[in-house]
Structure 1
Amino acid sequence: MNSNGIKNINLETRPDPEQLLAKIKSENNLKAKGMLKIFFGYAAGVGKTYAMLDAAHAVKKSGVDVVVGYIEPHTRPETLALLDGLEVLETKSVFYRGIYIKEFDLETAGKRKPEIILVDELAHTNAPGSKYKKRWQDIYELLDAGIDVYTTVNVQHIESLNDIVASITNVFVKETIPDKVFDEAGQVELIDIEPEDLLKRFNEGKVYRKEQAKRAQSNFFQKENLVALREIALRRTADRVNREVQIARLSKTNIKILPVKEQLLVCISPAPTSAKVIRTAARMADSLQATWIAVYVQTSENKYIDKTVQEQLQKNMTLAEQLGAEVVTLHGDNIADQLVSYAKLRNATKIVIGRNQKSRNPLLRILKKDIVNRLLDLTAYIDVHVIPGISQDYDNRTKPKHKNADLFLKFTFSKIDFLKIIGVLIFATALAYSFYAIGFAEANIIMAYIVGVLVMTLITKGYLMGMIGSVLSVLAFNYFFTEPRFTFSVYDAGYLVTFPIMLSVALITSTLTSRIQHQMVTSLKREEHTQMLYDVTRSFLNVSNRESIVVKGIEYLTSVLKRDIIVYLGDENDNLAEPILNAQGKMTQDLLDKNEEAVVNWVFKNRKNAGVGTDTLPGSVAYYVPIKTHQKIMGVIGIKCYDDILDIDQRHFLDSVTVQMAIALEREKLTEEQAKIKIEVEREKLRSDLLRALSHDLRSPLAGIAGATTTILENREILDPETVNELLNGIYEDSEWLTRLVENLLSMTRIDEGKLQLRKKPESIEEVISEAIQHIKKRAKDHVIKVQIPEDIFIVPMDGKLIEQVLINLIDNAIKYTPKGTTIEIRAFEAGESAYMEVSDNGEGVPEDSIKHIFNRFYTSESSSRDSRRGIGLGLAICKSIVEAHGGKIEAHNKKEGGARFRFSLPLD
C-alpha cells in the first residue's frame, strides 16, 4: 500500500497463502490446545453467566467432565440456582489491603484437569501475589494444558473498544483484555437482550446491589448508552464472524462470493465523468452501510496515456480516497477478468461501472462485447450496476490522445529495423533458393519466408516493421519463385489464393510475436520493479542512521525518476530539520524557495500530498509526499516536476520507496528510543545501587567514628592512654576507609564522564609497588605482604598514580576477604611485549560463579569476611577501567593450592 492508501496489485486466482496458513494454524491450535468459548454481552445483567451455566449443564448431560472454577458472586437467585448439580472448585483467599479476597485457584484447577472449566469475568485483575497479573493469562495456561474454558466478557473490556466505550459512558474501564484473546477464541456466543428489558431488570435490583446501582445508573444504565453499547457489541461480533468467513472462503481453490455483508467495487478510469461513477458508488455505500473499493485496471495499452489524462486519473483516485474508498491499481489486459477476479478475492457483492458510448459500427458491436456485457457474462453472484452518462466529449477529446500515443509506439518506422528486415529477407531468399534448387516442394519455400518473418519480428520493435516484413516476404516469393520468374506477374490463378493466405499467415504470426514480445517487455519491467523494491527493502535493513536511510532512498528514487529530489525530516519537537537535496537538473534553487517550504510545512502538518498534479497548492514546482507511518509523520519528500507530472508507475514506485523509508526511519527511531531507555535504566540502576550501597556501607564507619569520639569526649578522665589510642586508631582506620571510598567514587565519576586522562611516562615498578604498600600498610598490619620483582631495574610506561590505585584496591580486596595472619604476595614480571603484575593471597578464593562478575560495578561477593565494611563493589571495577585505559587486561582466578590471584598486564610499547 502506498502513502495515499493506493494498492498496486497483481492478481492471481490461486488461494491466498496467508489465509491458508491462518486456517491451518487455527486448526492446529484447536487440536493441540483447549478451546476458549466466550459468552459476550454489551453490559452487565444481559445473562452471560446464566447462559454459561446453562451450557455447562447441557454438556454435562452428554457425559462431559465439567467443573466450575470461579463464578462472580451474584445476588441473582436464578443464576446461583444453576450451580446446583455442578462441581465447584474451592477458591483461594488472598489477603490484600486488610481484607481477604477470593480468587480463582489456578493450581487446583490444573491438578483437577477437567474437560471443561467455567471461569467467570475474563478481564479480571488478579490480586497481588498471584502467579499471573490478569485472569486471561490464567486461562491461557489452562488452554495450553488442553482444558476447554467457558468464560464471560463485556464489550467495554476489549482493549481496542475501551476508549470508544469511555466516550459514550464517561467511564474509563481499567480491566481489559487484548483483542487477540477475543479474536483467537474458538467460539464467541453473543448474549443479547433488548435495552428496555435490561433496564427493567436493573430497576428490579437483579443486576447490582443498591449501592452499586446508584453509580451504574448515572453511567452505563441509560437507554441511549445501552443502545450504543449494544450496537458496538453486535458489530464486533459480526467483524469476527466475517473474518472467519474470509479465512474459510480464501483457503479454497475455487473462491466464491459469500454475501455476508455488502461490499462495493467501483471501476474508475481517466475519464472526467468517472467522477460521477465514484460519487454514485459513495452514495450507494453510504446508504448500504458498506465498505467500497475503487479499482483502476492498468492495461499494456493505457500505460501510455498523456499528461492531461494522467492528471485526470489522479484526480479521480484522490476523489475516491476522499470519499472513503480504498484505492487499488490492478494490472492486466482483460479488464473484465481482472475486476471479477479481484471482486471474488475481496468478497465484493456489487460492481459499479460507468458505460461509454456504444460504437457506431454495428459490425464491431457484434464481434466485440464491451466491458459491461463481459462482466455480466462472468458474474453469477455479483450485481453489476451500470452508471450511464459518459459523454462523447471524453471519447473525442481524451481517448484519441490515449490511443494515438499507443499507436505511435507500435507503428513507428525505424531505418535500422528496416535494414534488419532486408538482411533477414536476403537470408530467407537464399535459403528458399537452395530449397528450389534441390527440388523441394513449394510449401517448403513458403515456410522459409514464414520463418524469416518470425525472425524479423523478434529482432525489430513494433507491429509496423513486422507488417512490412510480411509484405516484402510475399513479394519476394512472387518475384523469385513464381512463373514468370523475376517479375511480379503470375500465370497460375491459384496464386491469387496462395498470396493472401501467405500474407495473412505472415501478418498473424508477426502480430502474435510482437504481442508476446510486448508482454515479455512488460513482464520484465514488472520483475525489474519488484526486484528493485526488494533491493530497496533489503538495503534499508542494512542502514543504521536516519541520514543514511534518506540518502539511500534518494539514490533509488533518483536512479528511476531522474529528477531533483529533496527530503525534510522531522525532529524530536515535530519541526522540520534542514533539507537533504539531491540535484539532477540545473535549477535546484527552486526547491529551496520560501514558497516551496510553505508547501512542505502544509504537507508535514496535514499528512497529505500536495504540489504539482494535486488539487492542493498545484502552483509549486514539485510533488510532495509525506513520509508517514500509522502513528507519526517522519518527514516530507519532494520530487521536482519540470514540465511533466509523475505518471502512475512513477507514483507507485515513489509511494513504495516512501513507505519503506518510513518503516526504516520508524525502526531507527525505535532503536534510538530503546537505546535511550536502556541507558536511563542502567543509569537508574547504578544510581539506586550506589545509594543502596552507600546507605548500608557508610553506616558502619560513621557509627564507629561517632561512637569512638563520644566515648573519648564523655570518658576522657577515666580512660587510660592505651584505650584512647585504640579508639583513635579506630577513628583513623574508619576515616581512611571513607577516604578510599570517596576516591573510588570520584575515579568512577571521571571514568563515566570520559575525563580519565592518562599521563603515561616511564615508571619504576619497584617504586609504584612501594608507594602502594606504604599507602595501605596500616590496613595490612595483620597480614604478611611479600614482594617479588626482577633484580634488574624494571621500567614500564604507565600513569604511576593510577596504577598505584589499582594495586591499592587489589591489596585492599585481599585484606578484606582473607583471615588475619595470611600472606599477600605481590609479583611483577615481563612476558612477551607486556609487563604483568599479580596480587595473590592464600585465603578461601573467589566463588566460581562470581569470577565472571567480579569486575562489574557494585558487585560484591557473598563469601564471608571478617571486615564488616565489605565495600560497595567499585574497587575492582575501577581497576578494570584503569587497566583497559592503558591498553591492558585484568583477570582473576583461583590458585590450585588455595587462594585467589588477580593479574593485570600493561603494554611495554
Structure 2
Amino acid sequence: MDRPDPKSLLAKVQNDEEKLKRGQLKIFFGYAAGVGKTYSMLESAQNLKKMGVDVVVGYIEPHTRPETLALLSGLEILPVKEVNYKSINLREFDLDEALKRKPELILVDEFAHTNAKGVRHAKRWQDIEELLLAGIDVYTTVNVQHLESLNDIVEIITNVSVKETIPDKLLDNSSQLELIDVEPDVLLKRFSEGKIYKKEQALKAKDNFFIKDNLIALREIALRKTAERVNKEVQISRLSKSKVTIIPTSDTLIACVGPSPSSAKVIRTASRISDSSLAKWIALYVESSNSTMLDKSEKKQLRDNLDLAKKLGAEIIILHGDDKVEQIIRYSKLRNVTKIIIGRNHSRQGFFYNLLKKDIVDKLIDEVDYIDVHIIPYKSEKGKRYKSKKEVSVKSKFKISSIDLFKLGIITVAITLIAYIVKSFGFINENVLLLYMLGVALVSTWTKGYTTGIISSIVNIILLNYLFTEPLYTLSIDDPNYIITLIVFSIVGVTTSTLTSRIQQQAQIYSKREENTQMLYQISRSFLRLYNKEDIVKKGIELLSITLSKDIVCYLKENNDLKLYEKNLLEYKKNELNEEDEKAVANWVFFNASVAGKSTDTLPGSKGYYIPIVGINCTLGVIGVSCCDEILDPEEICVIEAVVAQMAIALDRELLSKIQENTNLEIERERLRSNLLRAISHDLRTPLAGISGAISTIIKNKKYLDETIVDELLNGVYEDSQWLIRLVENLLSMTKIDEGKLEVKKNLEIVEEVIAEALNHIKKRIEDVPINISIPNQVMFVPMDAKLIEQVLINLIDNALKYTTDNCKLEIKVYEDKEYAYFEVSDNGPGINEECKKNIFDRFFTGEYKSKDSRKGVGLGLSICKSIIQAHNGDITVNNNKEQGATFKFKLPLNYVKENI
C-alpha cells in the first residue's frame, strides 16, 4: 500500500482543524460588477433561513436593482454605522454590533472595501477576519480585479489602477469559493439597461471596464484563478489518501530523458505538446547503478539533453533506482502526471533479443492505467546505434579485478581446508556440500559484480566432485544422485551470487541517496549562522571542494571590482582557474548572470564551469569549478546549484542586514536631528522673546522708565544673550565631536585660574549663589585644554543652577590622588534618581524635575562634558550626596605629554 504524502496530509488536517475553530468564509467571486454576486449571496441566505439558520445582513451595498432588493425581504438587517468624514456622512459596516449580535451567518458585501477613518480596521476584510475568529460564518463578495497579485495585470488590461485590494491568501484560505459567471454579452446588456451603475458612474465605467475585450480578459483570469483553487484542493485531497492515484484535472507531462541522442527528439516533442496545451512539463532522468559506467561522450550527451530541456522550460528531476519503470510510475502518481513521453529505438535487435527481452516502453504500457504514454520513434544511423546503459554495462558486470580474484582464491582454499577437516571427523558429504555453498555466499558478499560468484560456483563444484565425490580425484561420478545435487548446487550458487550483487548495487544506490540528503542538509545548515561575507564564501567553496574533489574559485563583488577567493585541492599546486583567461570568463558570467565555461555552449574552451551567484536584486559573484579533463555530470551540477543557492541566500541576508543597519542609523540620525531642531526652536523662543520684549519696552517707554527698571531689563537681556552664547558653543562643540574634529591641545594649566575664568563667564548668574571652592594650598598644575575644561565647568555649574532650589549652594572641590586630578561640582538640589543616572550623559536627555529656570535646556551640556573628558583620557560620573543634592566628579590624568589629540 502506498504511503500518503505527509505534507499534504498535514495540510489537510490543519485545514480541517482551522475550519472547526474559526467561522467559515464563503466568497462569491466574479469578474466584474453586475455578474450577480450579491444576488446569489442573498438567494443562498434566503435558502438557509428557510432551513432554520440564524442569518443576519451585516452590510449590503445599496442597489437600485428591484430583484436584488426583493431578496432582502424577511432577513434581519443590522443598522449601519454613521461616520462623518470631511462633512460627509458615510455608511459603514458596524463590526461591534455584529459581534454583539453573534449570528450563525452574516452577510457582508464588498470584501475589498476600504473603511472610513475612525473605524477600528482600515479594510473590511480585516472586519471579516475578526468575525471569523469569533466563530461567525461569513458570506461576502469580491471581483477578480481586487486581488493583490493581479492588480498590475488588471491595470494593463483596463488602464485603471484599482486601489482597493485584498491579499490572495484570503481567497485561498476561504472554505468555499463560488464563481458567479455570465457571458460578457449578457453583462453588457445589463450595463446598457442601467442595472449595474448609476448614470454618472456608467459613463466612467463605459470607457474602462465595460468593453467586451476587457470583460473577456477579466473573465479568463477569474476562471483560471478559480481553477487553480480547485486544483489545489484536488492535490491536497489526492496526496492525503493512503493510495496516491491520478486525477487528470489538468495536464502535466513527463519527458523521460537519458544519454541517448533520441532524448533530444523526446524533449522537443514534450515542449511542443506543453506549449499547445498550456501544460507544465518535467524532464525526468532515472539514475541507476549502471550510470557510473557511462563514458565521456555519453555523459556529455546526457548533459546536453538536460540543458536542452532546461532551455525549453522544463523542470529537471533526477531520481535514483535500478527499476526505471517503478521510479517513473511512482513519481508520475506523486505529481499527478497525465502524459508520459518516452523514446524507442526502432533499430533491429535480433529475433531472440526481441523474443526474450521486454523493453522499458512495453513495461511502462503494461503498468500504467490512467496515464497516456506517447512513444517517440527513433532510428539511429547505420553503424551509430546507441547502446543502452544495460548493453554498455553487461561486460562491466562480468569484469573481475585482481583483488576479487585474490579474495576468491583465499576463500576457496579456506573452505577446502575446513571441508577436509570436517570429512576427517567422519561427517557425511552433505555437510561438505553446505560448506562449499557457504563459500559461494561469502565470495558473492565480499566481492563485486557477478563474475566472482559464478566462478566460485563452478570452481566449488569441480573441487567437490574431484576431492569429495566417489571415485575420488577424478571428475567422473559413480552415483547418479550426485548429478542432481551438483546441478542444484550450481543453480543455487549462481542465483545467490546474482542476488547478492543486486543487493550490493541497491545498497550503493540508497547509500548515495542518503549521502546526497545528508549533504544537502549540511549545506543548508552550514549557512544558517554565517553573517560575515568572507565566512559565507569560504564555507561555500570549502563545501564544493570537499564534495566534488575539485579546485574551486569564487569571485565576489566588492565595490566595483571582483575579489578572488580560492580553494585548492592540493595546497602546493597552483589553481588552474586563477589565470587571466579564466578571470575573463568569470567576468563575462558576472555581467551576464548566465552559466558559461566547460560543459556549456558559452566559452566551452574554458578550464572551468562558471555559475553566477544571483541575489534578489543583482549578481553577487561567480563560482568556478575546475573540470579540465572531464565533464560535470547532472548530479554534480545539482550540488553546485544547491551550494550556490544557499550562498546567494546567505549573502543576500548579510547585505540586507547591512542595509537595515544603515537604515536604522539613518533613522536614528534623523530622530536626533529632529529632536535637536525641536529642542532648539523651543529653547531659543524664550530668550529671544525676552530680549525682544525688553528692548521693545526700553525703546517705546524710554522717557517714562527710571534707571533701575532699565538696568533690570538690560540685565535680563544680558543673561538671555549669555544663555544663547552657551547654547551655540555647545552646538558647535557637538558638531566638532560628531565630525571627529574636537582638537585637544594640552598644556600645564593652573587649576585656580581655570576655575576663576569659568566662574567669570557666568558671574551674572551666580551673583546671589554662595560657592565654596576647595583647592590644595600649593599651586596645582594639571595638563589640560583650558578652554574645553572651562566649558565643562560652566556646563556643570549651569546644570546645577537649573535643578536646585532658590537657596542654591554650590561647592567646587579639586584634589590629587595618585595619577589623576579630581574635580567635583556639588549642589544642594533634589538629587538624581536611579533611572536618570543611566542616561544622564546621553544626548537630548533632560532631567524630569522642573527647574526654576524657564529655559530647561536641550540636553547637550552633560553629553559634551563627557565627550571632552573622554578626549582628555579621563572619566566623569555622578552620585547623590548623603544628605541632599548631587555631585558630578571628573578626573584628568596628571602625566603630561605635549601633543595634539
Matches within 5 A, 1:316-327: 316-327=305-316
From 378, 393, 403, the counterpart of 1:390: 378
CA distance in 2, matches of 1:644, 1:26: 50
Q: Structure 2 regions of 5+ residues with no counterpart?
A: 896-901
Of structures 1 and 2, the one with the larger relative CO (CA 8 A, separation 6+) is 1
Contact 2:557 2:563 in 1 (8 A): no
Deviations 1:38-94 (A, max 9, x none): 111111111222222222222233333332222223333333333333333333333
Q: Find the counterpart in structure 2 of residue 4 from structure 1.
A: none
Contact 1:825 1:839 in 2 (8 A): yes
Q: Find the counterpart in structure 1 of residue 713 from structure 2.
A: 727
CA distance in 1, matches of 2:297, 2:869: 73
Change over 3 Å in CA distance of 1:742–1:342 after alignment to 2: same
Change over 3 Å in CA distance of 1:797–1:101 after alignment to 2: farther
Contact 1:91 1:105 in 2 (8 A): yes
**Residue 463, structure 1, aligned to residue 450, structure 2:** yes
Q: Find the counterpart in structure 2 of residue 741 from structure 1.
A: 727
Q: Find the counterpart in structure 1 of residue 494 from structure 2.
A: 507
CA distance in 2, matches of 1:657, 1:361: 47
Amino acid at match of 2:657: T
Deviations 1:496-553 (A, max 9, x none): 3333333333333233323323333333333333323322222222322334322321
Q: Find the counterpart in structure 2 of residue 417 from structure 1.
A: 404
From 438, 448, 468, the counterpart of 1:481: 468
Instruction: Give SS of 2:103's match.
Output: coil
From 299, 313, 337, the counterpart of 2:326: 337
Matches within 5 A, 1:389-788: 389-393=377-381, 397-399=385-387, 402-403=389-390, 406=393, 410-486=397-473, 490-570=477-557, 577-582=562-567, 592-593=579-580, 597=584, 599-600=585-586, 603-604=589-590, 607-629=593-615, 632-716=618-702, 718-756=704-742, 776=762, 778-781=764-767, 783-785=769-771
Q: Find the counterpart in structure 1 of residue 133 from structure 2.
A: 144
Matches within 5 A, 1:33-182: 33-182=22-171
Contact 2:576 2:607 in 1 (8 A): no
Displacement of 1:26 after TM fit?
1.7
Q: Find the counterpart in structure 2 of residue 8 from structure 1.
A: none
Contact 1:13 1:341 in 2 (8 A): no
Instruction: Give SS of 1:541's match.
Output: coil
Q: Find the counterpart in structure 1 of residue 899 from structure 2.
A: none
Deviations 1:377-424 (A, max 9, x none): 32222222222x222449954326x45764565444333333333333
CA distance in 1, matches of 2:880, 2:133: 47
Change over 3 Å in CA distance of 1:876–1:16 after alignment to 2: farther
Instruction: Give SS of 2:527's match.
Output: helix
CA distance in 1, matches of 2:294, 2:210: 60
Matches within 5 A, 1:14-25: 14-25=3-14
Deviations 1:730-783 (A, max 9, x none): 233223322332333233333433445667899998887777666555444555
Q: Find the counterpart in structure 1 of residue 250 from structure 2.
A: 261
CA distance in 2, matches of 1:680, 1:269: 56
> Which segment drifts farther, 652-661 or 283-292?
283-292
Q: Find the counterpart in structure 2 of residue 183 from structure 1.
A: 172
> Which segment drifts farther, 687-696 or 16-25?
16-25
Amino acid at match of 2:858: I
> Which segment drifts farther, 329-338 or 350-359?
350-359
Contact 1:591 1:621 in 2 (8 A): no
Contact 1:784 1:821 in 2 (8 A): no
Deviations 1:457-502 (A, max 9, x none): 4443443334444444334434443344455555444433333333
Matches within 5 A, 1:798-813: 805-806=791-792, 808-813=794-799
Change over 3 Å in CA distance of 1:96–1:288 after alignment to 2: same
Q: Find the counterpart in structure 1 of residue 274 from structure 2.
A: 285
Change over 3 Å in CA distance of 1:553–1:763 after alignment to 2: farther
CA distance in 1, matches of 2:411, 2:783: 84
CA distance in 1, matches of 2:24, 2:742: 62
Amino acid at match of 1:638: G
> Which segment drifts farther, 756-765 or 164-173?
756-765
> Which segment drifts farther, 788-797 or 268-277?
788-797
Change over 3 Å in CA distance of 1:904–1:84 after alignment to 2: farther
Contact 1:763 1:800 in 2 (8 A): yes
CA distance in 2, matches of 1:444, 1:888: 97
TM-score, reference length from structure 2? 0.89
Matches within 5 A, 1:157-236: 157-236=146-225
TM-score, reference length from structure 1? 0.88
CA distance in 1, matches of 2:876, 2:479: 107
Please tell me the root mean square deviation across aligned C-alpha atoms, in Å. 3.6
Deviations 1:330-374 (A, max 9, x none): 111111111111111111122222223487455555555322232
CA distance in 2, matches of 1:450, 1:228: 75
Change over 3 Å in CA distance of 1:46–1:483 after alignment to 2: same
Q: Structure 1 regions of 5+ residues with no counterpart?
A: 1-11
Change over 3 Å in CA distance of 1:847–1:219 after alignment to 2: farther
Contact 1:591 1:640 in 2 (8 A): no
Deviations 1:191-232 (A, max 9, x none): 111101111111111111222211111111100100000000
CA distance in 2, matches of 1:230, 1:881: 69
Contact 1:274 1:390 in 2 (8 A): no
CA distance in 2, matches of 1:661, 1:906: 51
Contact 1:603 1:626 in 2 (8 A): yes
CA distance in 1, matches of 2:773, 2:475: 119
CA distance in 1, matches of 2:845, 2:533: 38
> Which segment drifts farther, 55-64 or 390-399?
390-399
CA distance in 1, matches of 2:382, 2:833: 88
Amino acid at match of 1:674: Q
Instruction: Give SS of 2:170's match.
Output: helix
Q: Find the counterpart in structure 1 of residue 856 from structure 2.
A: 870
Contact 1:93 1:101 in 2 (8 A): yes
Change over 3 Å in CA distance of 1:396–1:814 after alignment to 2: same
Instruction: Give SS of 2:345's match.
Output: coil
Contact 2:303 2:633 in 1 (8 A): no
Amino acid at match of 1:417: D
CA distance in 1, matches of 2:165, 2:709: 69
CA distance in 2, matches of 1:214, 1:655: 55
> Which segment drifts farther, 26-35 or 579-588?
579-588
CA distance in 2, matches of 1:140, 1:657: 41
From 310, 317, 323, the counterpart of 2:299: 310
Amino acid at match of 1:515: R
CA distance in 2, matches of 1:508, 1:159: 64
Q: State the identity as a percent.
A: 55
Amino acid at match of 1:864: K
Contact 1:576 1:635 in 2 (8 A): no
